[in-house]
Amino acid sequence: MAQSVLPRSVQKLIDEFARLPGIGPKSASRLTFYLLRATDNQALDLSAALHELKERTQLCSVCFNITEDDPCPICDDDARDAGLLCVVEEPLDVLAIERSRAFNGRYHVLHGAISPVEGIGPEDLRLAELLQRVAAGSFREIIMATNPTLEGESTALYLQRRLTDHKVRLTRLARGLSVGGDLEYTDEITLGRAFEGRQDV
């Protein structure tokens, strides 16, 4: 077996970067060698930021979004509509929706989607906590904003079945055409949903 020409500490950092999603071996090497050339302050700042991330962040006990304070600022904001609940798969989805400024209600983060292929069932997600919130709360509408994937659709269907007994309006985010796209490049499912979700003009 050939011995690595890299020092052990360098190879270890490359290996750690390569474990991150979306980072392949080449990108991991580039990041490592960038940090080797960077000032000590930059490398130490990155290390301190990672340490602080793990030390200070936690899950909100209400919505399960990532936060430093419990409850999180969104759950603690009385100006938000407490009757609207948006169910998302991941904390990044909350960030995307907040950037759109199209929603002013509360959230519930599932931390994944039902995926039998990957061995992820309802018990592995924050679904029980969601059902408790709905049973105890006064939500008038629950928006299921799971991803338009097979797993996201399965999760939304599961939620729909579990929530039908509650007197609450269940909605799903509209699916359709992206702005600036061409019809000829749109897949059949998206185009079909765009027709189903058409609005009056």
Q: Looking at the domain that runs over 80-172, which CATH code has it been given? A: 3.40.1360.10
Q: Can you give the pLDDT at residue 2?
A: 46
**pLDDT digit string, tens, across residues 121-131:** 999 999 999 99
Q: What is the 3-state secondary structure (H, E, C) of the chain?
A: CCCCCCCHHHHHHHHHHHCCCCCCHHHHHHHHHHHHHCCHHHHHHHHHHHHHHHHHCEECCCCCCEECCCCCCCCCCCCCCCCEEEEECCHHHHHHHHHHCCCCCEEEECCCCCEHHHCECHHHCCHHHHHHHHHHCCCCEEEECCCCCHHHHHHHHHHHHHHCCCCCEEEECCCCCCCCCCHHHCCHHHHHHHHHCCCCC
Domain span(s) for CATH 1.10.8.420 in the chain: 1-38
**pLDDT digit string, tens, across residues 145-197:** 999 889 999 999 999 999 988 889 999 888 776 777 776 777 787 777 777 77
Q: How many residues does the chain have?
A: 201
Domain span(s) for CATH 3.40.1360.10 in the chain: 80-172
Q: Looking at the domain that runs over 1-38, which CATH code has it been given? A: 1.10.8.420
Give the Cα separation of 35 and 9 in Å (integer).
12
- Mean pLDDT across the chain: 90
- Whole-prediction pTM value? 0.83
Q: Is the pLDDT of residue 1 over 50?
A: no
**pLDDT digit string, tens, across residues 50-66:** 999 999 999 999 999 99
Q: Can you give the pLDDT at residue 40?
A: 87
